[in-house]
Structure 1
């Protein structure tokens, strides 16, 4: 019986949090001239949210091969779905990714390739 209670105690928060992206927008980018552009970004998977919700990716942590991208997050390489790629010009210049955590692991909502300089 104790096993059942422990399992339920662990499962309920996991189900509640599954599929929710972690947002970090506490207003520090409110005065950025790029904020309206970031807020308007969307991929084939939907709106990307804003700059504060995305994560900057170092050049060594993303790759392009045969027209497809992948990114290294938390020590693992994740293939970027084609419909998650933002195709408009990158005004920020830096590579960014908008990961989401769900029941099947990490998925990518949006990916903004940088210039690899």
Structure 2
């Protein structure tokens, strides 16, 4: 497509206007702008490839964000393993797809009946549905976080004793 300035004598008296002419070629497309600059069809192809690769990268990041929990077998012979496997909160089983770990006393707190825990340097409020109310056989505060593309959520939380 070529855009050129009209140079009629009648146009000299009136405000200048733009006239567009379209030219199609089998292998290239040109756009000529007022300043003589050109956008070649190859640049448009590069822009399309860049857009496609950005969409692919975004979809891989979102798909990869839903990682499953792993069990490396370190605690397979622990006498508490069946008890840990049976733990459930209202949000679901604790050990199904989240790895639980012990939390040090400075990394969790209770205020007005609500809990919050510090994970990866940020404080996260524990939903009431995630709190396990049965006796804590492990003795230490335990948390089962689930990391998603939207951040960290708490699947299960078992408070220990604050000494």
TM range (shorter): 0.7 to 0.9
> TM-score by structure 2 length?
0.65
Q: Deviations over 1:15-58 (max 9, x none)?
A: 2133444x2311111110000000000101000017x8202111
Residue in structure 2 matched with residue 24 of structure 1 by the alignment: 70
RMSD (Å), alpha carbons: 1.8
Q: 1:11: how far off?
A: 1.4
> Which of 61, 83, 94 is residue 140 of structure 2 equivalent to?
94
Report the TM-score when normalising by structure 1: 0.88
Unpaired runs of 5+ residues, structure 1, are none
Counterpart in 2 of 1:105? 151
Q: CA deviation at 1:2?
A: 4.4
1:1-117 → structure 2 map (5 Å cutoff):
1-21=48-68, 23-49=69-95, 53-117=99-163
Point out the more displaced range, 79-88 or 97-106: 97-106
Q: Deviations over 1:56-85 (max 9, x none)?
A: 111000000000000000110000000000
Higher relative CO (CA 8 A, sep ≥ 6), structure 1 or 2? Answer: 1
| Aligned positions, number | 115
Q: Which moved more, 1:85-94 or 1:98-107?
A: 98-107
Q: Deviations over 1:94-114 (max 9, x none)?
A: 111111122321110000111
